[in-house]
Amino acid sequence: MKTVRVFIERGKDGTFGAYMPDDNHLGWGVHGDGPTANDAIAEFKAEYEDMKAFFIEEGKPFEDVNFAFSYDLPSFLVYYADLISYKGLAKLTGVSAAQLSQYISGYRTPSPKTTEKIQTALHAFGKELSQLQLV
């Protein structure tokens, strides 16, 4: 089954959107919006199911797919703010808490290099956690 990308982004009004880029090469597309990332993802998945049902009803072929959700950095920071503090993330990534806060507020935009630095640190941390065993 094909895996397609879905971007999760926080809008300037504070709401979230989930959408598929145009490069998935499918004969259909869906999107979702909501006050939280979870709401946007839930609406996205509901629209996917509606689209699938429509194609079946019309007797048209429909390619089932898996989704790989990706966040822009400010949306990621907002989405995980209850789980990862700016102070902790700063310690983990080497990017200051003040700078992270500026990304969320929209005062600054992270460079690709900074985004990669944060992503690399988070992946390393995730790998470390996945190997953790408690006794």
- For the domain covering 73-130, report its CATH number: 1.10.260
What kind and span of H or E run contains 35? none
Question: What's the token pair of residue 68?
Answer: 């790989």
Residue 11 has pLDDT above 80, yes or no: yes
Closest CA to 92 of 130, 112, 120: 120
* E strand spans, 20-133: 31-34, 65-71
Q: What is the pTM of this model?
A: 0.74
**Phi, psi angles (nearest 5°) of residue 2:** -70, 145
Residues of the chain with CATH 3.30.160: 2-71
With bands split at pLDDT 50, 70 and 90, how would you rate the model's confidence at 117?
very high
Tell me the C-alpha to C-alpha distance, in Å, between residue 97 and each of 45, 88, 110, 114.
33, 8, 13, 13
Report CA torsion sign: 16, 39, 49, 70: positive
Please report the pLDDT score of residue 53 as a whole number: 95
Domain 2-71 in CATH 3.40.50? The answer is no
Question: What's the token pair of residue 71?
Answer: 């966040």
Residues of the chain with CATH 1.10.260: 73-130
3 state DSSP class of 73 = helix
pLDDT digits (tens, 9 = 90+) for 96-112: 999 998 988 878 888 99
